[in-house]
Structure 1
Amino acid sequence: MRRLPPLTAIEAFVAVARLGSVKLAAQELALSAPALSRRVQTLERFLGRPLFDRRHQAMVPNSDGDRLLAQIAPVLDQLSDAVESMTSAVDVVRLRLGVLPLFASQRLFPRLAELRATHPELHLDIDTAGHGVARLGEGLDAVIALARDIDPALYAQRLDRNMVYVIGSRTLVERPDPITRPEQLATLTALVHRDMPDTFAAWREAAGLADIEPMAVDHFDSGALMLEAAAQGLGIAFMHESHFQDAADPRLVKLFDIEVVSPYSYWFVCRPRALQLKPVRIFRDWLIDTLGSNAV
């Protein structure tokens, strides 16, 4: 039998590579930072090469580390799932899902009880860290992504089509000089999500206002915070119709009756071979049946 490095060293390597920090990985594995570092060094000595570029505040896998992570991380996850299923009172299957927080809170979580009732064996590990598509196979089994399109090498199922709404505080239409005309955009701050940078440009072109500029453009990486900023009168948010409808926030109103198709959609994405995994198939089928009705 081939000699293998200690499993604890492999576990430590994967944790550091995924989190980019010895401190965070040590917390996750309930170890001291020096103890975790020693385990990583054990693996490096076993392989006879370094696996990380060590920086002041971060540990970044080098080319050898990236290659090793891609090969062993899925195997370690499968091993963990197998052990958990053997020690659990029920036959648990687990899905590591990447999802944006706003989609999770507005559209996914309100329906998860239905999924649990139908498939009590399926449990979700939720990851909202972003850039999920790039991490498929390295800690994530599947992702609900917001994008224009998806790499054709991946399996992707569109979940919706949407309109771009201009969302603002109700006070904007109730004040003495209400905001009723698109030209008044020049007096306002536009709020744009970093994952949807073209929503403002698409809306402006459809409105025939290609030359008009807002007072400023503020960028957010949180849809929930964008909606709150709009409700507080800090700017007008260029977001999806579904974001507005699902928020059901009486402080918010849709501004301007201009129909603009969004260039972005929500997608279910995974690697093609991941469809062989039971939790991926269960969740994919349920998600499309439950939330994918607006994808025509």
Structure 2
Amino acid sequence: MPKNLPPLSALRAFAMAGRYESFKVAAENLNVSPGAVSQHVKNLEKTLGIALFDRSNRIIRLTPKGSEYLKGVQSAFDLIKVATKAVTEDIGGGKIVVSTMPSFASQWLVPRLGRFRERHPQFDVHVNTATDLVRFESDHVDLAIRHGLGQYRGLYSERLFTVEMVVVCSPDFGTKANNITDLTMLPLLHEAERSDWALWFRANGFNEVDCSRGPSFDDDTSLVHAAISGQGVALVRDVLVVDHIAKGRLVSPVDLKWPSKFAYYCVFPEEGLRSQKIRAFRSWLHEEIRGH
């Protein structure tokens, strides 16, 4: 039985390694080497006099004692986080760092943020746009809006939008596209992988369409703007063009929506469920989705 508490650095390394059962993933989250995480855990095991991980196979697994210890250590860290936030944030105020994809930020989130500011002037929102998944703790992010299947290990996630792919073009260009047959002869605007149009045509019974024509774009925002400027017909996620359609910049000439298995999710560490600012932002998001 150790007389003194183990070092916080060792406990932190163990908590992260135990959460993912991986020294490599823990090292990535802590911005250290896997060897450093492994050494911290070995020192902790020596201090405690017990084995925390089973290393008999190539994949590490928590021992029963390790699993029991992880619950207590994680609870302690959660209490520290709550206490720290309580003394470093003004009551009801603070900064909210939101990470999301550039396309969602520019086409949906940012145009609506003014209404959040009107409702909650005590909060300042910082939008962090990135295509890669952020690490919440090391990147200092409170909440993320992600496009995917909603399965993010160790994080809380809730669905915001289901996604449907819609055909859009400029109003002038729309006069040339009255049906699917018309689309087979018009310039097609593509995302970088150039696969969506071929799949869409096949889903609608058109198997021999040449989908190789037309420009492609690395990001959805450029794709949307190419459609607005009349360069062709685009197949895009509905949430990215709902405002452009409402304001008459785009039209949907063919009313055939294509459901996607992906959706948009609000994602954050589970301790965020107790955060006043995250609760406020989540509530506002759902109000916007219901109303717009």
Q: Scaled by the length of structure 1, what TM-score is found? A: 0.59
CA RMSD of aligned residues (A): 4.2
**Distance (whole Å) between structure 1 residues aligned to residue 291 and residue 250 of structure 2:** 26
8 A Cα contact 2:92 2:276, kept in partner: no
Q: Which residue of 2 aligns with 1:255?
A: 253
**Distance (whole Å) between structure 2 residues aligned to residue 159 and residue 292 of structure 1:** 10
The residue identity in structure 2 corresponding to 1:96 is V
8 A Cα contact 2:186 2:232, kept in partner: no
**Distance (whole Å) between structure 1 residues aligned to residue 179 and residue 265 of structure 2:** 34
**Distance (whole Å) between structure 2 residues aligned to residue 203 and residue 65 of structure 1:** 49
Q: Secondary structure at the match of 1:213?
A: coil
* 286 and 152 in structure 1: CA distance in 2 versus 1, 3 angstrom threshold: same
Give the C-alpha shift of residue 257 in structure 1: 2.6
Matched, 1:213 2:226: no
Match of 2:233 among 219, 233, 236: 236
Once the two structures are superposed, residues 42-70 of structure 1 have per-residue CA deviations (whole angstroms, 9 ceiling, x without a partner) of: xxxxxxxxx99xxxxxxx964368999xx
* 142 and 201 in structure 1: CA distance in 2 versus 1, 3 angstrom threshold: farther
The residue identity in structure 2 corresponding to 1:290 is E
Match of 1:63 among 17, 27, 34: 34
**Distance (whole Å) between structure 1 residues aligned to residue 197 and residue 37 of structure 2:** 37
Q: Which residue of 2 aligns with 1:245?
A: 242
**Distance (whole Å) between structure 2 residues aligned to residue 148 and residue 204 of structure 1:** 24
Q: Which residue of 1 aligns with 2:277?
A: 279
The structure number with the bigger radius of gyration is: 2
**Distance (whole Å) between structure 2 residues aligned to residue 96 and residue 273 of structure 1:** 15
**Distance (whole Å) between structure 2 residues aligned to residue 213 and residue 78 of structure 1:** 57
**Distance (whole Å) between structure 2 residues aligned to residue 203 and residue 236 of structure 1:** 13
Give the C-alpha shift of residue 182 in structure 1: 2.3
**Distance (whole Å) between structure 1 residues aligned to residue 198 and residue 291 of structure 2:** 27
Q: Scaled by the length of structure 2, what TM-score is found? A: 0.60
**Distance (whole Å) between structure 1 residues aligned to residue 160 and residue 261 of structure 2:** 14
Give the C-alpha shift of residue 114 in structure 1: 3.4
**Distance (whole Å) between structure 2 residues aligned to residue 205 and residue 152 of structure 1:** 35
* 282 and 289 in structure 1: CA distance in 2 versus 1, 3 angstrom threshold: same
Q: Secondary structure at the match of 1:214?
A: coil
The residue identity in structure 2 corresponding to 1:172 is F
The residue identity in structure 1 corresponding to 2:222 is L
Once the two structures are superposed, residues 139-166 of structure 1 have per-residue CA deviations (whole angstroms, 9 ceiling, x without a partner) of: 2221111224433643211112243111
Q: Which residue of 2 aligns with 1:42?
A: none
What stretches of structure 1 of length at least 5 have no aligned partner?
5-50, 53-59, 69-73
Q: Which residue of 1 aligns with 2:190?
A: 191
Q: Which residue of 1 aligns with 2:62?
A: none
8 A Cα contact 1:191 1:235, kept in partner: no
Q: Which residue of 1 aligns with 2:123?
A: 122
**Distance (whole Å) between structure 2 residues aligned to residue 131 and residue 78 of structure 1:** 28
Q: Which residue of 1 aligns with 2:24?
A: none
**Distance (whole Å) between structure 2 residues aligned to residue 284 and residue 251 of structure 1:** 29
